[in-house]
Structure formats: C-alpha cells, structure tokens
Amino acid sequence: MGSMPLGISSWSFHRDIGAGKLSILDFPYKARSLGFEDIEVVMSHLDGSAQVLKERCDDAGIKWNCVSAENNFAIPDEAARKKQIEHVRTAIDTAVDIEASVVRAFFGHVSGEPPLGIKYLTMECLKEVASYAEDRDVVIGLENHGNYCNEAIEMKEMIETIGSDHLRACPDTGNFETDVYEQLERIAPLAVHMHAKTYAFDEDGDESSLDYKRIFQIFKDSGFEGTYSLEFEGEGDETDMVEKSIALFRRYI
C-alpha cells in the first residue's frame, strides 16, 4: 500500500443509514473494521451528534477528516444563496469542532439553462466561504457535482480566479460525463480530497466502468496528498460492495 490514506464517505452506506440498519454513531467502527483509515461524513447524516461521533472515531482509532456539505450556490435568489452560504459555514464550524481539515462543497445545480450572471453570483459565494475557511484553517474541496460547473476546465477557472489556498478541488471520478481521465489529469493538481466512486465490478474484481489503476496513477503523478475517499453508489449489499471496493483500491494504491 502507498502512503495515501484510504477513506470512506458515509454516503457509501446511505441506504443502510436511511433504513436504520447502520447508525451514524457506529459508522466509525464499521469503517475501521473494513480497513479504512479515515471517514467522511455527509451533513445530512449528522443528527446534532458531531462531538459524540468524534469521540466514537477516537475510540475506534479512525480519523474524521472531511465534513461533506450539500449546497447550491447557483441560484439567483439572494436570500436563498445566503442560506446556502450559512450551510457551508456550519460545515466549516463542524470541521473545526471535530478537527477535520477538509469540507467538501458543491458549486451548485441549475434547472435548465444557467441564468445570466449566475457565474458571478456563485463566485461571490465562493469568495465568502473561502475567506471563512481561511480564518479557521479549513480547506474547502469543490466537487464536480450536478449540472453546473462540472467540467475540469470550469472548476479550475473558478478556483484559480478566487485564488485562495483554502479553496481547492474534490474531483469525483464518477461525475465527469466525458473524457474522465483527461479531466482528472487537469484537475488533480488542485485536489485536496477526492471521491473514488464505485458502482459495480467485473469477474476480475475491477470496477466495471472506471480504470482505478490509471486513476490512482494520475493522482500520484499530480502530487496528490489527500485521502482517497470511497463513495459507493451502486446496487447490492452495501457492506459486500464496500469490501470489494477496498480490495480493488488496495491492489492499485
């Protein structure tokens, strides 16, 4: 195994968590027993128990290194955008409280054609949360998610225009619609965190739609120093599929 830690997002168990089969407070123990070194928790999975969950992580001997906000900055309504900024600020505050170094966030999602000027409104939101993160020594990782600003060239332009060391990328291997490996090569140098998406596996144990040997090499070549964070989103028993995912990752990292 290489030096980069293997992590897992709570989203990998979203069906089990949603059905009450897995408590978020048991997630650290589950992740540790499966061989992961750190976890990422989606804000919607938190029930006000961040500090208790952090204690569980310490007890399990696993690091909680990323808080995942689910936000949308690409909306014209100012009051609605302010609520989204507050949501990301809350995620940053949570990260500070539990000593996580990264907050995952989205650029946004638009219905239909992007409204005129939405890029500049989004940039203002990004500047605000980047400044807030900088004051608290947290780094935001912006993900290619949804239908807005989800191409590597767009992500790179937005991040570099803001120009903050506390606003970086969280590339998701499953969310680029075309030219996946070329886009990953373009954005990996800006990555502070990444989502290694899995859906299904072939008879050799490789991911059916993504070449992880190639993907991990791209990140190694870029000098990536963050966590490879599993986000399983396929069908089947989540524990079984997570086990297949970590076995695959260990082969190539």
Interval 167-222: pLDDT, tens: 999 999 999 999 999 999 999 999 999 999 999 999 999 999 999 999 999 999 99
What integer is the mean pLDDT of 216-231?
97
CA distances from 80 to 3, 76, 85, 86, 125 (A): 42, 8, 9, 10, 11
pLDDT at residue 18 tops 90:
yes
pLDDT at residue 1 tops 50:
no
Mean pLDDT of the chain: 96
Write the single-letter amino acid at 67: V
Instruction: Write out the H or E segment, with its range, that includes residue 195.
Output: strand 194-198
The pTM for the full model equals: 0.96
> CB of 233 within 8 A of CB of 227?
no
Whether the CA torsion 245, 250, 251, 253 is positive or negative: it is positive
pLDDT at residue 2 tops 60:
no
Helix 50-60 vs helix 78-97: crossing angle, to nearest 10: 40
Domain-by-domain residue ranges, the chain?
A: 6-252
Q: Which CATH architecture has domain 6-252?
A: Alpha-Beta Barrel (3.20)
DSSP tally for the chain: helices H, then strands E: 9, 8
Residue with tokens 């408590």: 23
Condensed to tens digits (0 to 9), the pLDDT of residues 125-176 reads 999 999 999 999 999 999 999 889 999 999 999 999 999 999 999 999 999 9
Q: pLDDT at position 93, please?
A: 97
Grade residue 4 by pLDDT with cuts at 50, 70 and 90. confident
Rounded CA separation 224/210 (Å): 19
Condensed to tens digits (0 to 9), the pLDDT of residues 48-105 reads 789 999 999 999 999 999 999 999 999 999 999 999 999 999 999 999 999 999 999 9
Grade residue 3 by pLDDT with cuts at 50, 70 and 90. low
Instruction: Write out the H or E segment, with its range, that includes residue 216.
Output: helix 212-222
Q: pLDDT at position 43, please?
A: 96
Condensed to tens digits (0 to 9), the pLDDT of residues 65-74 reads 999 999 999 9
